[in-house]
Amino acid sequence: KKMNCNYSLYLVTDRAILEGRDLYHAVEAALQGGVTLVQLREKHTSSRDFYQIALGLKDLTCKYQVPLLINDRLDIALAVDADGIHIGQEDLPLQVVREMLGPQKIVGYSVANIEEAVYGERNGADYLGAGPVYATQTKSTPIEPLGVEGLRSIKEAVSIPVVGIGGINVRNVSQVRRSGVDGISVVSAILGSFNPANASRELYTAWHKKD
């Protein structure tokens, strides 16, 4: 059965940002701080290592009853029985992924404009990761940011949940929330902190603040 998903505070991993700090401990701290969804993203890692890391995070996210999604690698998602997968424009085609994973797993899809968002909704995505909202150093090729208005236009074009991603931090989170999206997806705002629990708590509080 498909895990019920709270997209409000969505952590995407990046071991490079940890500069040697332990991924498992950082993610556990983030879960204690209120993260509602975890995506494991690995680049240039052997399949064996990716699988082992995914098994570890699966245990951890189960313990906190938070869904675990795997970035790109459908085989890893299947092998560890993750709750789903997140794919981008460079990954396996969306329809192929949905067909192979079946209807019970979560499929997320990265989009940068309304056209991709509508395509994602029509082809089986459960939610969209839309961005970059702000300029970010996470990706090697800089892309023109959507801004809050661009994010709002994507959210208004579809009826599935939309999560903003890219350059979101505790200072701009309330602005992002006012665009109407369902959550924020962060990497460095949590994993770049030496206190991921506290960083998560601050983001959680900022997201829920009435204004």
Residue 195: which residues within 8 A CB-CB, separation 6 or more?
29
| Binding characters for Ni ion, 38-57, by CB under 5 A (x = yes) | ------x-------------
Kindly report the CA angle at 173 between 197 and 66, in degrees rounded to 5? 45
Please state the closest distance from residue 43 (CB atom) to Ni ion, in A: 7
Please state the closest distance from residue 16 (CB atom) to Ni ion, in A: 13
Please state the closest distance from residue 47 (CB atom) to Ni ion, in A: 13
3-state secondary structure 71-139: ECCHHHHHHCCCCEEEECCCCCCHHHHHHHHCCCCEEEEEECCHHHHHHHHHCCCCEEEECCCCCCCCC
E strand or H helix at 56:
helix 47-63
User: Using DSSP, how many helices (H) and how many strands (E) does the chain show?
Assistant: 10, 8
d(CA 119, CA 137): 27
Question: Active-site residues: which are they?
Answer: 41, 110, 139
d(CA 173, CA 208): 10
Return the closest-CA partner of residue 187 out of 163, 156, 162. Answer: 163
140 interacts with Ni ion by CB under 5 A = no
Return the closest-CA partner of residue 203 out of 159, 163, 144. Answer: 163
Please state the closest distance from residue 121 (CB atom) to its own copies, in A: 20
Residues that bind its own copies (CB under 8 A): 44, 46-49, 51, 72-76, 78-79, 87, 89-93, 96, 100
Please state the closest distance from residue 50 (CB atom) to its own copies, in A: 9
Q: Which does 47 bind (CB under 5 to 8 A by kind): Ni ion, its own copies, none?
A: its own copies
